[in-house]
Structure 1
Amino acid sequence: MSKSHLHNPCEPFQAYNRLEGRTREESLTSALSAKIHDPLWMLARQWQFGEFKGEDTGSAIEAKIAYRTQKLNYFKPHHGPWQKHDDALPMEITVEKLHQKIGIRSAYYLGKKLLRAIDAALEGVPGFAQGFYMSKLIAHFAFQAPTLNTDDPVQAMSRQAQVMARTKTYQFLLTIQGKALDAGRVLKSFSENPDFLNSFSNTHPGGFILPNHLIPLRNVLQQWKEQVITEFNLPELEQHKSWVPEKMEYAFEAASVKIQEADQRNLQANAYFQGHLDWFSFDQKVSDEPMVLPDIPSDSSERKVLTLIPSEASIAGMPVSRWWEMEDGKVDLGNMNASDTDIAKIAITQYAMNYSNDWLAIPLDIPSGSLCEVEGIVVKDVFGFRTHVEAAHLQNNSSYLGWGMFGQSVLNENEQFIGMDPKVFVPDSLAKTLESEPVEKVKMIRDEMANMVWGIEAVVPDLMGSGISGVDVSNTLEQILENFLAKEEEVDEIAANDPAYLPLESRNGQVRTYKAPLKYILSNKIAENWIPFIPIHKPGQAINREITLQRASMPRTVGGIEPHAVRPQSSFLRRGILENNEQDKPYFIHEEEVPRAGVTLIGQYQLTRWYSGKRVIWYGARKISGKGEGSSGLRFDLLTDNV
């Protein structure tokens, strides 16, 4: 055999066959319908093997659901007693509202509104003419621009300089001082003393209000005050607030009480700071302590039975469960990359691929601010069979530990978990709000080198209704004080005839001078918008010696006045400090509230529209995570070159 017969350079011929359906008609309808020859025979075999009694029974076509709802009827802020809960406002506003000082611009327009209301209410009353009280009220409650006076106490002067450091605000005050009514001063006087108008009666020396005008004026002021409080949603009293300064977050309770059936649900939120209220913000509280309610509770429960058509539960990107149905572009089965530790991704993927047609969803409208409990569901399939699905928490199974979704944890008086509440809570919260730029922004950071916590006032109120940079205000404040007060001359040179430096030579009758090469500094300077919090032991903790953080003060040293404490300018850190910058009481923060990552407090105005169509505005706060530790560069006992 020749060599050419042993070597064949040509590859063998390969052929592939594919079995596929082919239609003999112009339309593909018949081919895609996937018809079977005897469907009745297949149904009979399914019945014979008992498949209709298993999981893969007929499809559900009808569902009857019995449920009970129970409205919340009481609310308790952190600092106050139980009060009636009204859903005229969202619960978020009732919880979050804080008392932010009315901006000067708003106070200007509210003052004009008050004067117009006085003229309208007293029109036709004997002895009154239009504008009769305008000039007199402005004389007592006019806008006042701050001034610096060396005869004033140091802290009072510092407070005036803090206002002057807001340049635009100071210029606006200079423009309107003595010319317009300050509604903020009127509101403050009326809140402190509802009968303050009596001192302006002409029965007193210097009074200008006629006796027959006192009652109408008091009524006008009362209505005007209620409108202002309603418009800005201000907590009129301290007991109306839910803000907990020591924790820098909100805490409150809400309850649904029925005396007739002895059914009571007490929901508490001890750590709400996210800015959006939802079911996960609440836990159920079990306590033997009786609730002191303002009135007799009414029955706010309601039981309903609805008949609905269930639909398959689905998620975005889930593959369809029907055969021959075209997938949309959201489904990407080839991009499901999950390791053996991605339990959540594996569970969702398995549900979508294998069990999606086993879960059904029933649309159910629940009034906001209600607790809802599903008592049972009756499902009817295409074969006419009805199946009663009992609620999971009602099943009589001693080994059953409880399963549910969107329920509240039940806690005892010691905050220990003892179970789950089967009722689902739907709070009357907001879906969307418009938020202003931060009026206040405080960054709480840990400084391990200085062994303390700093509250950095990144944004402080500009007193006009918005925020301004805390760094700019602190720098401007220092310049104002330094330019106003006389500086002490710094002694850079020491005369040679000073006994401390004798003997020194003199040449041609001229006295030599001596300049010290080094100088001692007790402490370096820190920006005034950095407010220190120092760790101290909690009172009464002789054994555990737990730590808490107390607000401290850095000294301000300006030539011409005695050194004094730097006061914060944001309402978050000014707790316990009076209007004249004098401290009335200390301020403490729980040490665990400032982790290593730090936290950031943001105060801002928010606007929304409630279901009644009412436009609502309020001032609230929220807390977000910080960006890690920081360093102020604070140092003590420095010896530096005397340059």
Structure 2
Amino acid sequence: MNRTVFPAPVRFSGMPLPRWWAVEDGRTNFAAVRPDSTDLARLIFLEFALVYSNDWFLLPCDLPAGTLASIRGLMVTDVFGERLWIEPAGESGDEAEGEPRGPRPWSMFSLNALGKTGDDAVDGPGPGLLLPSSVPKVAEGPVLEEVTLIRDEMANMVWGVERTVTLPHGEARRGTEAAAEVLAHRLRLHPPQPPAAPAAPEAYTAMSSVPENWIPFIPVHVPDQNRDIRLQRAAMPSVVGGGRLVRPRTSLLREGFDAGRQYFVNEEEVPQAGTKLTLAYNRTRWHDGRVALWLSARTHAGRGQASSGLAFDYLADTRPPGQPGQAQGG
């Protein structure tokens, strides 16, 4: 299929102007963008916007949904009437005769070997552009599970806080309420023994406790690496005692738990702001009227760090309320 189009320069808000003594749009402040050293996508965007944006042109090309398009090349006609045939990058056949074809260079919005496997597979991206079918609107149901991965710099670890859990009958409940109900039920079944009268007003405590909807992730070394780390799911001892450990209740944090497998999270997946994970049902209609229903998990940006209140090696006050030297509420 051949199409004739007119190229237009790329334009976006705040882009550098081609003239030296021109003032750009102040509504976009690129200086406020502060990417991390590993945020490659944002770094590539800034380099394009500040350095190479004036060198790019936009060619309109409308495609139907659900198609795989491949550009053979561009026939460019300049103002002098000369016509130049330009092939896609990496497709010009610059390889020497008899030499094996090398990997294609990196590109964006392309496919990896166009789904080929075996001896016909090509290392690197392919020249095709896949435009999958889509729907104009998707109805999202109530959140069934919500987990927040937050950093605790004081404890040097990451917590998976189960904000919303799904009960056995299918109803969603706040994680703090569900954990408190389960803990109260176990305390009724196994009431703690009354402590003996302490000889000292303060007792040494090795470690405090945290709410049972807080699942710890501890940093461990990546295999065969000395510096790289990843986050491994761990467990906290329950307040009830007896050697019981707190188990995650959401499927987002329970991955591989019942099978006895370890669960790891890449360290870069939990930034300083944290990460929020949600699980909910989605419903939509296809172009022929059919109803599609699926369960989806999504990631969102967190709201910053938090403290679990976990403390180690401290003295706990053992005196009952009301004795001298202890604060009372009024």
- Could you state the TM-score of these two structures normalised by the residue count of structure 2? 0.66
Whether the 8 Å CA contact 2:222–2:230 is kept in 1: the answer is yes
Residue 443 in 1 paired to residue 148 in 2?
yes
Q: Which runs of 5+ in 1 are unaligned?
A: 1-64, 67-306, 319-332, 411-417, 495-514
1:390 maps to a residue whose letter is: W
Aligned to 1:336: 25
Rate the CA distance shift 1:606–1:545 in 2: closer, same or farther, 3 A. Answer: same
Whether the 8 Å CA contact 2:72–2:88 is kept in 1: the answer is no
2:70 maps to a residue whose letter is: C
Aligned to 1:365: 63
Residue 569 in 1 paired to residue 267 in 2?
no
Percent identity, please.
Answer: 32
For 2:108 and 2:229, locate their aligned partners in 1 and report how far apart those are by CA, in whole Å: 38
Q: How far did residue 347 of structure 1 move?
A: 7.5
- Give 3-state SS (helix, strand or coil) of 1:564's partner: coil
Q: How far did residue 433 of structure 1 move?
A: 1.6
1:336 maps to a residue whose letter is: D
For 1:313 and 1:479, locate their aligned partners in 2 and report how far apart those are by CA, in whole Å: 67
Rate the CA distance shift 1:637–1:544 in 2: closer, same or farther, 3 A. Answer: closer
For 1:556 and 1:432, locate their aligned partners in 2 and report how far apart those are by CA, in whole Å: 44
CA deviation profile, 1:24-80 (whole Å, cap 9, x unmatched):
xxxxxxxxxxxxxxxxxxxxxxxxxxxxxxxxxxxxxxxxx43xxxxxxxxxxxxxx
Q: How far did residue 315 of structure 1 move?
A: 8.7
For 1:335 and 1:613, locate their aligned partners in 2 and report how far apart those are by CA, in whole Å: 48
Rate the CA distance shift 1:605–1:388 in 2: closer, same or farther, 3 A. Answer: farther
Aligned to 1:552: 234
Rate the CA distance shift 1:317–1:602 in 2: closer, same or farther, 3 A. Answer: closer
Which has the greater radius of gyration?
1
Aligned to 2:282: 606
2:270 to 594, 606, 617: 594
For 1:317 and 1:553, locate their aligned partners in 2 and report how far apart those are by CA, in whole Å: 49
CA deviation profile, 1:504-533 (whole Å, cap 9, x unmatched):
xxxxxxxxxxx6321222321200010012
CA deviation profile, 1:422-462 (whole Å, cap 9, x unmatched):
32222334553221222111111222221222111111113
Higher-RCO chain (CA-CA 8 Å, sequence separation at least 6): 1
Rate the CA distance shift 1:567–1:406 in 2: closer, same or farther, 3 A. Answer: closer
Aligned to 1:193: none
Whether the 8 Å CA contact 2:209–2:239 is kept in 1: the answer is no
- Give 3-state SS (helix, strand or coil) of 2:242's partner: coil
Aligned to 2:40: none
Whether the 8 Å CA contact 2:74–2:87 is kept in 1: the answer is no
- Give 3-state SS (helix, strand or coil) of 1:555's partner: coil
Rate the CA distance shift 1:429–1:374 in 2: closer, same or farther, 3 A. Answer: farther
Q: Which runs of 5+ in 2 are unaligned?
A: 14-21, 32-45, 95-103, 114-122, 320-330
Aligned to 1:393: 88
2:267 maps to a residue whose letter is: E
Q: How far did residue 627 of structure 1 move?
A: 2.8
Aligned to 1:453: 158
Aligned to 2:119: none
Residue 534 in 1 paired to residue 223 in 2?
no
For 2:228 and 2:23, locate their aligned partners in 1 and report how far apart those are by CA, in whole Å: 54
1:637 to 297, 310, 313: 313
Aligned to 2:18: none
Q: How far did residue 639 of structure 1 move?
A: 1.2
- Could you state the TM-score of these two structures normalised by the residue count of structure 1? 0.36
Q: How far did residue 463 of structure 1 move?
A: 3.7
- Give 3-state SS (helix, strand or coil) of 2:281's partner: strand
For 1:360 and 1:592, locate their aligned partners in 2 and report how far apart those are by CA, in whole Å: 36
CA deviation profile, 1:158-182 (whole Å, cap 9, x unmatched):
xxxxxxxxxxxxxxxxxxxxxxxxx
Whether the 8 Å CA contact 1:393–1:402 is kept in 2: the answer is no
Residue 520 in 1 paired to residue 209 in 2?
no
For 2:288 and 2:210, locate their aligned partners in 1 and report how far apart those are by CA, in whole Å: 51
